[in-house]
Structure 1
Amino acid sequence: MDLSGRVAIVTGAGRGLGFAYASALAAAGAAVVVNDADGGAATGAVAQIAGVGGKAVAEPGAVGPAAVADRLVERAVAEYGRLDVLVTNAGVLRDRMLWKMSDDEFDTVLDVHLRGTFTCVRAAVRHMREQGDGGRVIVVGSPAGQRGNIGQTNYSAAKAGIVAMARTWSMECAKADIMVNAVVPVAATAMTSTMPAFAPHIEAWQQDGTPLPAWLRAGEGFGTPADAAGLVVFLASAESHGVTGQAIGIGGDKLSLWSHPEEIAASYAEGGWSPDAIAATWPTTHGRVRQSVGIPLPEQPS
């Protein structure tokens, strides 16, 4: 898939999934602005991309403030003359049970994930609209945002909000021919390496390249960061024109499409619903289709 002549920004691209996205975009021919809060990681990522013939520059900075977002767009335009693709991957974790989570832990995660996505997309879309020939916005969600996850009040809320914003932006940006989609990746990263079911397999892969087992790759849709990069390249390409407002899962051998929330049961009572009327009808109507919560735990074959 040829992205020659296209210019992309990838936030949080110094390592992990972000680096995989930036590398794949560059390998497909795009010029990439590599952002990361860690300046050394951003510079190192650029060196690796350039080392295999890719075109990239580093623009460090912790996303969240509008000034950082504006600087990323300005760097892309100053360096390469335009902006076609934005991938908002930057993120942090501050996991804690609800009753132990501090205001700072909540705010830090929302500032990076939610505000950082908002400010970067706003800056990019402003320029894409002025540029006048469309664009691609790819934001990054998580299964935790789709289903919730214990200990991740802040992260789940931010990731759910990111997908909701993508749906809204897909409608707002349609006339400007800007496609907006959310990627929901599941991959071996620093954020998943502490999960007991995944940890030994991630460690083996990191140490000597031992392939992740089939039960993880196919059964759980869990793979390496590189496994998730093909979807980002597709969504950045001309071939994805018309694909917008979607939440698309990727991981290991699995490509999936997440449903949008919708009503699945409805009942009507003339004059409205009293508490007693709700209690009387619930078990035989809405109670029959109660929805599950949480990310299902992986089951390793015996």
Structure 2
Amino acid sequence: MTFQSQTAIVTGAGIGIGFAIARDLARQGASVLLNDLDETLAHRAAATIRQEGGTCLAYPGDVSDVSFIESMVEKAVAEFGKLTIAVANAGITIFGDFFDYQPANFQQVVNLNLRGSFFLTQLAARQMRVQQEGGSVLLMSSVTGHQAHPGLAAYGMTKAALEMLAKNLVLELSPYGININAVAPGATQTERTLDDPTYVPIWSRITPMGRPATVDDISNAALFLVSPQSRHITGQSLVVDGGWTAVSPPPVAGE
């Protein structure tokens, strides 16, 4: 029970990587406030975790809205007494050719991926500072923040920015015993990617380890970085991609 007596917020956790992180935190003793924009998904995910014996409360809403983030932090403290872990997993991917990329799509990507993550970190860290017990923040980056990927200029830019945010905030957060890191997943099998029958074959071929990641692969890395075992690790970005960024061939549909 590594996370006994800990309280975590996990955003974008209705399915996929976020759900795996929330579920594993709860399995290891944490009380979890589970966020997703989709109200049905949030409540279903939280109910599943409770059925497995975990402590989890759904809190659906838009984490690009700073006032909502503020209410989410307040809710976590009101329900569980404190906040010690924040996982900024919520994000959006909008593909598009650079020459035709639309301002509305750009703003949507930046608002959620950067604004939401920045202000969740800020508001969670403020609460941790008041508590004077330290804490952990985890940002969700991507291999596209390290290597070019077709159609993802805006998205990749936001993910690289999150890794710089983790590095920069070492200066701000370390005096309060708060560490901050980022996980950069590569291709990962989730409910969304499983809708594409070419996804696993393509990424299995171009990933040195012979397969895309599972959500458990990413969750294992995430839990380590917010655990007591990593208290002296901060400002770092951990790539979990089966070696893809070492060689970086782009996925080509139809091959």
Do the structures match in fold with TM over 0.5? yes
Query: What is the DSSP-based 3-state SS (H/G/I as helix, E as strand, rest coil) of the residue aligned with 1:108?
Result: helix
One-letter code of the match for 1:243?
I
One-letter code of the match for 1:18?
G
Partner of 1:232: 222
The CA distance in 1 between the partners of 2:206 and 2:52, in whole Å, is 30
CA shift, 1:296, in A, is: 2.1
CA shift, 1:27, in A, is: 0.7
Partner of 2:232: 242
Query: What is the DSSP-based 3-state SS (H/G/I as helix, E as strand, rest coil) of the residue aligned with 1:13?
Result: coil
Contact 2:133 2:177 (C-alpha < 8 Å) held by counterparts: yes
Deviations along 1:101-158, whole A, 9 cap, x unmatched? 1100111011010111011111101111111110000000001111121111211111
The CA distance in 2 between the partners of 1:297 and 1:96, in whole Å, is 16
Query: What is the DSSP-based 3-state SS (H/G/I as helix, E as strand, rest coil) of the residue aligned with 1:219?
Result: coil
Contact 2:15 2:191 (C-alpha < 8 Å) held by counterparts: no
- Structure 2: tracts of 5 or more residues without a match: none
Contact 2:7 2:85 (C-alpha < 8 Å) held by counterparts: yes
2:189 counterpart of 1:188:
yes
Partner of 1:92: 92
RMSD after superposition: 2.6
CA shift, 1:298, in A, is: 6.4
After TM superposition, the structure 1 = structure 2 runs for residues 115-126 of structure 1, keeping only pairs within 5 Å, are 115-126=115-126
One-letter code of the match for 1:66?
V
Partner of 1:297: 250
Range with greater deviation from structure 2 (232-241 or 16-25): 232-241
CA shift, 1:185, in A, is: 1.4
CA shift, 1:63, in A, is: 1.0
The CA distance in 2 between the partners of 1:83 and 1:190, in whole Å, is 29
Query: What is the DSSP-based 3-state SS (H/G/I as helix, E as strand, rest coil) of the residue aligned with 1:113?
Result: helix
After TM superposition, the structure 1 = structure 2 runs for residues 261-280 of structure 1, keeping only pairs within 5 Å, are none
After TM superposition, the structure 1 = structure 2 runs for residues 131-142 of structure 1, keeping only pairs within 5 Å, are 131-142=131-142
Contact 2:207 2:243 (C-alpha < 8 Å) held by counterparts: no
One-letter code of the match for 1:246?
Q
TM-score (norm: length of structure 2): 0.90
Partner of 2:13: 13
Query: What is the DSSP-based 3-state SS (H/G/I as helix, E as strand, rest coil) of the residue aligned with 2:169?
Result: helix
CA shift, 1:33, in A, is: 0.4
The CA distance in 1 between the partners of 2:211 and 2:236, in whole Å, is 18
CA shift, 1:232, in A, is: 1.5
TM-score (norm: length of structure 1): 0.77
Contact 1:217 1:223 (C-alpha < 8 Å) held by counterparts: no
CA shift, 1:68, in A, is: 1.4
Query: What is the DSSP-based 3-state SS (H/G/I as helix, E as strand, rest coil) of the residue aligned with 1:49?
Result: helix
Partner of 1:29: 29
Partner of 1:154: 154
Deviations along 1:53-81, whole A, 9 cap, x unmatched? 01000111111121111111111100000
One-letter code of the match for 1:188?
Q
Residues 232 and 41 from structure 1, CA distance in 2 versus in 1: closer, same or farther, beyond 3 angstroms?
same
Contact 1:144 1:156 (C-alpha < 8 Å) held by counterparts: yes
One-letter code of the match for 1:150?
P
The CA distance in 1 between the partners of 2:166 and 2:248, in whole Å, is 22
One-letter code of the match for 2:22?
A
Contact 2:202 2:251 (C-alpha < 8 Å) held by counterparts: no
One-letter code of the match for 2:141?
G
One-letter code of the match for 2:220?
G
Residues 15 and 106 from structure 1, CA distance in 2 versus in 1: closer, same or farther, beyond 3 angstroms?
same
The CA distance in 1 between the partners of 2:223 and 2:109, in whole Å, is 27
CA shift, 1:197, in A, is: 5.2
Partner of 2:114: 114
Structure number with larger C-alpha Rg: 1
CA shift, 1:250, in A, is: 2.1
The CA distance in 1 between the partners of 2:232 and 2:211, in whole Å, is 26
